Amino acid sequence: MEEGKVYASDVFAHLEMLEMRDHEAALKEEEELLQEEKLARLKARVKELRLQRDELRAKLDLQEKRQLEKEGPASDPAQFSPRAVLQWKIKSLQAMLQVFYLTGIGAKLTRRGVCFCISTAYEGTYLGSYYLDLLTKSEVKIYRHSVPAFIPLKQIAEQYLQTDIRRFLSVLSDQLNAYAGRRYQADQLQEHFSDQIKGTLQRNSLYNLLVFNYNVSSKSKTFPFNVRLLYGDLCCSLPTEVIVSCRLDAPASLTETAAAHSDLFRRMPLHKAFRSFSSTG
């Protein structure tokens, strides 16, 4: 700047700069204020939640103590308002219906009939469930259902539905459970023994015909075995026909192994058979 000379543009520029600095400072202050408020809110919320959590923990501890003392009911019945008592009963009935589901059957009465629910399981593992909405006004009719198409529902219905609903459901449940069991075995095989299975498992939608190749090791060499499982009894989850074959160039000792495996497949579920010859080698 020339001595003594002050240019208006410089002054303006300077003022602008000051304004901007001011503005920025104000924004920053606002931001900082907001941050502080946010922090304060979060801190307060944490405090509130911690308190809630500690109260709940104390309630639970008290409950546990009362249960251990076993003096009278663990929960004070007086704590239950009439509404709470009714809700208790509702939950208790729902629990009972859930137990029925565990036994294989559920039912709900409808305006036109009954809606049954057939549950399936393999040993202790519950698999899918299927429902049947029945009309029972005049003759019994299946209104709608979720039974897969490859289960012969029509034939079973023709045989039993009109005369003995219990028998109808029982036969259907046998087939559904057997199908679910066969599928479960195949799934378990693929999940736990995929390293031994060569290629893909070939099967039909009813899972009553399974063909696959698996590796058998003998004297540090692996040989492919082919197995064909036919489940002739649709109500059964074990095969009726088992063919285990190895290649023609395989050593003679393997024919014995093939026969042993064939026997195992006939007697045991797939994944258990695999487990047993995996461990015995």
Partner 1 sequence: MDSNICEVYEDEIQSLEEEIKLLAGKYEDSQQESTFFSDEEILMSIKSFQRELRGESEGYESLSDLKAQLESLETDLSFLMKFTGIQFTSHSKKTLEKTRNRTVRKHRLSGNCRSLSFQLEFQLLEMQNKAGVSAVITDLSIIMEPGGDSDLSKFVSSTEERGSLLTFFRSLSSYAEWYEHRRCTFLHFKNKYPDTVTLPEGLLGDYILLRNPKASGFELMIVWKIHINEEGRTTPVLDLLTKVPEQVLEQKMATIENAPTHFRSMLLLCGIEAAIENLVKVFGLER
80 lies in the binding site for partner 1 (CB under 8 A): yes
Residue 252, helix vs strand vs coil:
coil
Q: How far is the CB of 161 from partner 1 (least distance, A)?
A: 15
What residues contact 270, with CB distance under 8 A and at least 6 apart? 185, 186, 188, 189, 210, 229
What residues contact 239, with CB distance under 8 A and at least 6 apart? 210, 229, 230, 231, 232, 265, 266
Q: How far is the CB of 126 from partner 1 (least distance, A)?
A: 4
One residue of 173, 175, 185, 257 binding partner 1 per CB under 8 A: 173
Site stretch for partner 1 (CB under 8 A), options 21-29, 74-82, 156-164, 206-214: 74-82
H-helix segments, the chain: 8-69, 82-103, 153-160, 165-192, 253-267, 270-280
Site stretch for partner 1 (CB under 8 A), options 35-43, 138-146, 222-230, 241-249: 35-43
Go through 149-172 and write b for each residue having 16 or more CB atoms within 10 A of its CB, e for each that does not. eebbbeebbeebbeeeeeebbebb
Number of Cβ within 10 Å of residue 130's Cβ equals 19
d(CA 58, CA 65): 11
65 lies in the binding site for partner 1 (CB under 8 A): no
One residue of 23, 59, 192, 198 binding partner 1 per CB under 8 A: 59
Of the candidates 281, 275, 280, the one whose C-alpha atom is nearest the C-alpha of residue 192 is 275
Site stretch for partner 1 (CB under 8 A), options 10-18, 75-83, 187-195, 251-259: 75-83
150 lies in the binding site for partner 1 (CB under 8 A): no
One residue of 49, 230, 259, 260 binding partner 1 per CB under 8 A: 49
Give contact residues for partner 1 (rule: CB under 8 A). 35, 38-39, 42-43, 45-46, 49-50, 52-53, 56-57, 59-60, 63, 67, 73-75, 77, 80, 82-83, 85-97, 99-100, 102-109, 114, 119-121, 123-126, 166, 170, 173, 177, 236
